[in-house]
Amino acid sequence: MRNGTGSPKRWAKLGLTGGLAVTAAVGLVLSTGGPAAADPATTYVAVGSDTIQDVMNQFSTIVGGGSVGSWDAVNPGNPTVTHDVINPKSGCSMTRPNGSGEGVSALRKSVNTATSATVLADPPEAGCVDFARSSGGPGGNQSDTGQLVYIPFALDAVAPATGPAVAAGGAVATAITHADEFTVANLTALYACTTVTVGGVSYVPDGTTTNATTQPVHLYVPQPGSGTRNFWATTLGFNATTLPACVHDTSVVTAAAVQEHDGTVFAGDAAALGPFSIAQFISQGNGHNDRRHNAAIHSLNAVSPFNGTAPNTAYPITREVYNIVKLSRITTGSADFDAGLTSLLAGGSSLLCGQSLTIRSFGFATLASAPLGHTCGQVATNLRAFATV
């Protein structure tokens, strides 16, 4: 579907996997994808995470028929435009959520117009958002009696990124020449503003002196509300809201905001280092909305981020990725139970879990097993959140 303001969404024509079943009762229609002549009457709207937007955009194409509208975190026609106004359904006007945090807040507002969630300038009307994309789990909002549930569908990993080893395509060469030798402990120390010595070079957060043995490093995180920002902060032990003095969400060189999984900041700053989704890196390399700008991602603890052309599930920093829904909408017998939404997302036999080839094409590993505790489509008590929406 169109998910911008007047510009058709990029349509990737991937083959459908075997076993994709759609029932007439749900009213979903398969499509191989193609630009729509006009905005369709979307049944289900998804907003939020940049990390999983591309795979969910493709899923909306596969489902077809205007059933699912997955709206990008930034304007797809001009990625420098954030927080523009979108109209995802008839009668709905809202500020575009940028990232997992803003996506779940928009869902909460859509579920409960009296929510205590912090919302954007033009919040959604009731019923305008049906599910939120998220690259992080419930975290501190987890509640066994929560009204929302995070439904996992794939496995991702997050790696430190820098500019390229050699200047290319307008990107400067990185000065962080030992990035492939870093450990998780090294990253934890750096993000605590502590100098780390690797390969005979001392990397100094926000340092100024550059010589054979000392190199400044500029540490970055994505924009506030990003699931990747929160995940990186939790993993490395710093506060995602009140950043350490040496950690930045705008470029030290240009002052431009850092957008997750976009290599612009690394292309323009030789001292830059920050998180990048391995799935997004692979997906963009496969031609899906490539915005790497020649960035490179690196080994950690001597473990490569790649296993051939797939993410390495042995990489030391991994995470599940999710779609968030109101629990009652996928609970049989509830007053607002929705068979269509349930068929899309919930359970191992859901339409999304049946799209293993698509999931892998966009750089993720599947959750046929439960390396982090959950399988694809699982509705788990420990993934419920917000006792009060």
Mean pLDDT of 245-250: 98
- What was the pLDDT predicted at 309? 81
Query: What does the pLDDT look like over 335-346, one tens digit per residue?
Result: 999 999 999 999
State what percent of residues in the chain have pLDDT above 90. Answer: 85
State what percent of residues in the chain have pLDDT above 70. Answer: 89
Mean pLDDT of 324-348: 98
- What was the pLDDT predicted at 41? 55
Mean pLDDT of 311-325: 95
**Phi and psi at residue 234, in whole multiples of 5°?**
-65, -45
Residues of 31-67 as b/e, b for ≥16 C-beta within 10 angstroms?
Answer: bebeeeeebbebbbbbbbbbbbbbbbbbbbbbbbbbb
Whether 238 shows a pLDDT value over 50: the answer reads yes
Higher pLDDT, 151 or 66: 151
* Contact indicator for 365, 358 with CB cutoff of 8 Å: no
- pLDDT category of residue 40 using cuts at 50, 70 and 90: very low
* Contact indicator for 332, 341 with CB cutoff of 8 Å: no
- pLDDT category of residue 113 using cuts at 50, 70 and 90: very high
Query: What does the pLDDT look like over 125-149, one tens digit per residue?
Result: 999 999 999 999 999 999 999 999 9
- What was the pLDDT predicted at 42? 80
Mean pLDDT of all residues in the chain?
89
Query: What does the pLDDT look like over 49-71, one tens digit per residue?
Result: 999 999 999 999 999 988 999 99
Whether 12 shows a pLDDT value over 90: the answer reads no
- Angle made by CA atoms 102, 248, 162, in degrees to the nearest 5: 100
Pinpoint the alpha helices (H) of 112-245: 184-190, 227-236
Question: What is the three-class DSSP state of 45?
Answer: strand
Query: What does the pLDDT look like over 267-292, one tens digit per residue?
Result: 999 999 999 999 999 999 999 889 99
Q: Which residues 6+ apart lie within 8 Å of 242 measured at CB? A: none
Question: What is the three-class DSSP state of 94?
Answer: strand
Taking alpha carbons only, the member of 185, 133, 143 closest to residue 302 is 185
Mean pLDDT of 72-84: 92
Tokens 């070079």 correspond to 201
Query: Which has the minimum average pLDDT: 6-20, 28-42, 98-112, 169-183?
Result: 6-20
Whether 19 shows a pLDDT value over 70: the answer reads no
Which domains, from first to last, does the chain contain? 44-154+321-385 (no CATH), 156-311 (3.40.190)
